[in-house]
């Protein structure tokens, strides 16, 4: 049989992808539908599934097949797939099964308790569970770092963002730090000259949901392969054939849920357009978390908060909630492009958002590298919020260091993806604008087909075929360059 090692690998990864499918839908259900009493049993079932996947992926036959496949006559695509298979294998083979199970259980326990601890501002209760998650994450990081010959934090960063290092992040974020605080201050000062009228609720949830569904239709979401639900923290989950997105509603605040939906629709469209002709293969997966985030921010910030798109949505807003002074065109546009530093990352405008990410990056890196402990987080959080945004979180854990879900299950190394994603999105949108000279007019007319075709050809259809750098060079002619993000923010806000 030709390329028999490679074919064995392909069959095994197809099998693994089916278990991942079940795990993804069970996780979605846990966040969106499951009654509280199901938490422990679901956590144990998911841990069992992750152990089973780990056993399949680290079976000693896998190492033999990977070695054998290297000698086989593979085309470019198969070689890219083999590269990704080796990466998945190496990521898994390093970890003992007991650690995989312990981490899954500790994460489920911490996340479930967080749901009630956050509203109660219960840092002491939360920190007890978080300490166990951090302990296990440090064990994982130490094992990975030794194998890769890098820092503990870089070893975890590599899981989410292949080939990214904290040294490169420090350079990118250092560049941001050199100009962002000034741009933020100037944008706030400029906007303070114009008084804004606040939209007056209540905005019934049923109508908010309808508005979100209308935005999803406009953005090309395939409802035969996905759905919209509610969760404590908005997310996109599931699998390319069955994408699950969630938002959260507040009857006094209209646009938070809407732009949450638009953001998650960006993730969903990427998933729905990943290559289906390589079923279950690692090369058909999304390239990285930052590229994934670039798609959600492309939709939410580059497209969603652009003047032509906001104007396109305005009649939909008025038809559902009635005319009011806040929905006069210029006020409505300014309201949805306002820059206002606040406590909550997911509600932050795109100018102050990077501050939320950099502070989390600095804290989680110090935590994993052992420079600080869990008990140090609240004071550090407050200090960095004051430095960046002039806001204190002393005693306010709910809106401070307890607001995110990522650390509850050991997702250390994920946060940088958000600001990397914003940089990638700005660069991609600029390239799309060059390729499509009439883009603004098309958006204003609600004709987004050409833009989505460009994304499909430049990003979506390639899955993980190329490295992140190569994907960006192919799409934009340039590797990641923060200049595009700075130019975008300057043009929109100054």
- In sequence order, which residues have a C-beta less than 8 Å from that of residue 113 and are 6 or more positions away? 125, 126, 129
| Dihedral Cα 203, 320, 32, 411, nearest 10 deg | -80
Determine the angle formed by the axes of helices 289-297 and 255-272, rounding to 10 degrees.
Answer: 130
Strands 236-239, 226-230: pairing is unpaired
Which residue, among 337, 308, 283, has the nearest Cα to 471 in the 3D structure?
283
**Could you tell me where the DSSP H helices lie in 94-120?**
97-117
Show the tokens assigned to 362.
Answer: 């600095």
* DSSP 8-class letter at 199: P
Instruction: Please answer whether residues 324 and 199 qualify as being in contact, where contact means their C-beta atoms are separated by less than 8 angstroms.
Output: yes
Show the tokens assigned to 61.
Answer: 């036959």
| Dihedral Cα 451, 453, 454, 457, nearest 10 deg | 160
293 is in an annotated binding site: yes
- In sequence order, which residues have a C-beta less than 8 Å from that of residue 376 and are 6 or more positions away? none
Phi, psi of 230 (to 5 degrees): -120, 140
Rounded Cα distance between 153 and 151, Å, is 5
21 is in an annotated binding site: no
Show the tokens assigned to 443.
Answer: 């958006």
263 is in an annotated binding site: yes
Instruction: Please answer whether residues 67 and 110 qualify as being in contact, where contact means their C-beta atoms are separated by less than 8 angstroms.
Output: no
The CA–CA distances, whole Å, from 270 to 30, 85, 115, 285, 295 equal 23, 21, 29, 10, 7
DSSP conformation letters of 64-83 = HHHHHHHTS---HHHHHHHH
- In sequence order, which residues have a C-beta less than 8 Å from that of residue 112 and are 6 or more positions away? 36, 39, 43
Tokens 């406590």 sit at which residue?
343
Put residue 299 in one of left, alpha, beta given phi > 0 → left and psi -120 to 50 → alpha. Answer: alpha
From 264, 271, 300, 362, active-site residue: 264
Rounded Cα distance between 292 and 283, Å, is 15
Rounded Cα distance between 183 and 180, Å, is 5
**Is 264 labeled as catalytic in the residue annotation?**
yes
Q: Which residues are catalytic?
A: 264
Binding residues: 263, 267, 293
């Amino acid at each position: 049989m030709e390329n028999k090692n490679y074919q064995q690998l392909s069959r095994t990864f197809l099998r693994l992808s089916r278990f991942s499918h079940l795990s993804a839908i069970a996780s979605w259900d846990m966040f969106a539908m499951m009654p509280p009493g199901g938490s422990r049993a679901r956590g144990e079932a998911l841990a069992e599934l992750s152990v089973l996947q780990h056993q399949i992926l680290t079976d000693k036959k896998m190492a033999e097949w990977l070695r054998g496949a290297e000698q086989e006559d593979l085309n470019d695509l198969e070689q890219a797939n083999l590269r990704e298979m080796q990466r998945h294998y190496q990521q898994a083979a390093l970890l003992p099964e007991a650690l995989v199970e312990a981490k899954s259980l500790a994460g489920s326990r911490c996340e479930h308790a967080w749901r009630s601890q956050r509203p109660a501002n219960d840092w002491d209760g939360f920190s007890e569970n978080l300490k166990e998650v951090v302990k296990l994450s440090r064990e994982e990081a130490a094992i990975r770092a030794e194998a890769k010959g890098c820092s503990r934090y870089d070893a975890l960063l590599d899981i989410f963002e292949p080939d990214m290092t904290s040294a490169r992040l420090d350079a990118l974020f250092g560049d941001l730090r050199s100009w962002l605080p000034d741009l933020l201050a100037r944008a706030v000062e400029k906007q303070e000259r114009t008084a804004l009228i606040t939209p007056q609720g209540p905005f019934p949830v049923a109508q908010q949901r309808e508005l979100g569904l209308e935005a999803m239709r406009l953005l090309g979401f395939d409802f035969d392969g996905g759905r919209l639900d509610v969760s404590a923290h908005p997310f996109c989950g599931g699998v390319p054939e069955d994408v699950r997105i969630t938002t959260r509603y507040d009857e006094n605040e209209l646009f938070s849920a809407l732009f949450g939906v638009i953001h998650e629709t960006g993730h969903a469209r990427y998933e729905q357009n990943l290559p289906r002709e390589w079923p279950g293969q690692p090369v058909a997966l999304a390239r990285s978390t930052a590229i994934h985030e670039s798609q959600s921010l492309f939709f939410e910030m580059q497209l969603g908060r652009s003047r032509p798109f906001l104007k396109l949505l305005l009649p939909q807003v008025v038809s559902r909630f009635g005319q009011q002074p806040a929905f006069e065109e210029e006020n409505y546009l300014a309201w949805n492009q306002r820059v206002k530093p606040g406590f909550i990352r997911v509600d932050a405008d795109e100018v102050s958002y990077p501050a939320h990410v950099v502070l989390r990056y600095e804290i989680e890196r110090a935590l994993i590298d052992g420079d600080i402990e869990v008990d140090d987080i609240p004071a550090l959080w407050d200090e960095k919020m004051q430095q960046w945004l002039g806001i204190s979180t002393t005693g306010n854990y709910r809106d401070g260091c307890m607001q995110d879900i990522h650390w509850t299950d050991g997702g250390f190394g994920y946060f940088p993806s958000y600001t990397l994603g914003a940089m990638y999105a700005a660069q991609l949108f600029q390239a799309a604008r060059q390729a499509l000279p009439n883009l603004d007019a098309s958006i204003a007319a609600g004709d987004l087909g050409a833009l989505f075709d460009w994304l499909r050809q430049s990003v979506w259809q390639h899955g993980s075929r190329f490295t992140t750098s190569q994907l960006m060079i192919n799409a934009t002619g340039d590797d990641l360059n923060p200049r595009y993000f700075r130019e975008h923010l300057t043009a929109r806000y100054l």
